[in-house]
Chains A and B, each alone.
Chain A
Amino acid sequence: NAGVMQNPRHLVRRRGQEARLRCSPMKGHSHVYWYRQLPEEGLKFMVYLQKENIIDESGMPKERFSAEFPKEGPSILRIQQVVRGDSAAYFCASSHDRSNQPQHFGDGTRLSIL
């Protein structure tokens, strides 16, 4: 039973380019969460999605960031016109439902902006 898969593990972009981060949840999980961990800081919630719906995006920056979780395929976190401050580790987690079950995390995508 594969865990949460994130790719790429490492992504390098130049300022102004776009970054697309992918997350395949665990089999049977329809709830996906994205978190960001800036260097030497804790994890911060960004967005919570259920298939085809954004449930809570209270942690998403207002501009340049978007997320989707289509009916088929992985969840995508998209960052347009990246800036140096976007350099961070981005983690995806999934859960089976809205209950108190644990969230299962991937090993993250480390985004570096040149």
Chain B
Amino acid sequence: DAKTTQPNSMESNEEEPVHLPCNHSTISGTDYIHWYRQLPSQGPEYVIHGLTSNVNNRMASLAIAEDRKSSTLILHRATLRDAAVYYCILREYNAGNMLTFGGGTRLMVKP
């Protein structure tokens, strides 16, 4: 899997939007962009994924740059429960392969 770069940590205030960036300048045409998060003492949890178009689901939105070299995970209203480590991962379609976790971004949410 191609490499991704994320800030080590970010802070947000409760009930404000959060934009978590991810750079993946070496992404290939068949790589999907996946986001997972890991809450303290829990296993990773799938958040969202996309290929080229922006994606929305009940948890978050994913904005993908036109050149696909970067993406942004958007939490529309952060809650204390969103405090977690967020991982941006590239995954080749239909490879059935493992997820390669980097260091992720530790999101802290202040009340």
Contact = CB atoms under 8 A, between A and B. Distances in A.
**Which of A55, A95, A102, A107 lies at the interface centre, i.e. has the most chain B CB atoms within 10 A of its CB?**
A102
Contacts, number: 59
Interface of A: 4, 31, 33, 35, 42-45, 48, 55-56, 59, 91, 93, 95, 97-100, 102-108
Contact of B100 (A45, A106, A107): A45
Contacts of A48: 96-98
B43 A106 contact: yes
A42 B46 CA distance: 16
Size range of the chain B interface in the assembly: 20 to 34
Nearest to A6: B43
A1 to B, nearest CB: 15
Nearest to B91: A100
A59 B98 contact: yes
Given A31-B96, A56-B98, A100-B93, 9 more contacts: A42-B103, A43-B99, A45-B100, A48-B96, A91-B43, A100-B49, A100-B94, A105-B43, A105-B44
A4 B44 CA distance: 12
B94 A45 contact: no
B65 to A, nearest CB: 20
Contact of A99 (B41, B93, B99, B104): B93
A97 B97 CA distance: 10
A108 B34 CA distance: 21
Interface string B18-37: 00000000000000101000
